[in-house]
Every structure is written in structure tokens, then in C-alpha cells.
Amino acid sequence: MQTLYELDASRHAAADSLTARVEAGILPEEATDYARVLLDGVLGRLVEIDDIISALAPNWPIDQLASVDRNVLRVAIFEIISGVDTPPKVAVNEAVELAKAFGSESSPKFVNGVLGSVIATQNIEV
């Protein structure tokens, strides 16, 4: 999520940003492979993911969402729709926790609502 946030803010190369986090000790090495899967997956399906967000939160254009909210949603939606090893409930819970930690006061409720709609509209089993 932090690498995606950095991409929004600075347009640094994704791989360079992730490598810098690993080298700085911000991201434990054992989490690096999964972080790469998430980063590559989100970037590879960015248009699809952003379309899902736009459809489920039509009052909030994607470019007007807070960067934290936008990128928390992107990661969680990728986890939910891609079939990676993260169960949908876990993806939602982690996203809400990230929204609490890094977002605004309203972020957790917004993130939870959008992700609940993703699960409902995509017919995902929880």
C-alpha cells in the first residue's frame, strides 16, 4: 500500500520503490515476494480495479479519493478478486485496519462499505 501511495505522490518506478523499502528495513524480506505479487497484480489490473471502485462509489471519482483510501481499496480489491491466498474477510479486515491507521476518521467506514459491496457484487464467498 505504501509503495502504491508513493507512486501516486511521486511517480517513482514501482520496483525501485519496493526495493528501497526492503533495503531500508521498512518491509521485512520474508514479505517481499507477497508484496511484489500484490504490487504487480494491482498495477496489472489497475483499470479494472479502478472501474470497480468507480462503480461502487460513484459519488467519489477515483482521482478525488484520498490516496490512502484509493490504494487501500486497490490492494484489498485485488486480493478479493484475484484468488490470491488471502481470504476475503481477512482482506477486508486488513484494509479497514490500514484505513484506521493511515486514513481519515471516515476512511474505515468508507473502505469497509466499498469492500462489502465488492464481495456482494462479485458473488465472493466469505
Q: Can you give the pLDDT at residue 33?
A: 85
Q: Can you give the pLDDT at residue 100?
A: 97
The predicted model gives 23-52 an average pLDDT of 89
| DSSP label of 105 | T
Categorize the per-residue pLDDT at 110 as very low, low, confident or very high, splitting at 50, 70 and 90.
very high
Give Cβ neighbours of residue 85 (< 8 Å, ≥ 6 apart): none
The C-alpha atoms of residue 74 and residue 66 are separated, in whole angstroms, by 12
pTM score over 0.85: yes
User: 25 — alpha (psi -120 to 50), left (phi > 0) or beta?
Assistant: left
2-121 has which CATH code? Answer: 1.10.940.10
Q: Can you give the pLDDT at residue 6?
A: 81
Q: Convert the pLDDT of each residue in 76-94 to its tens digit.
A: 999 999 977 889 999 999 9
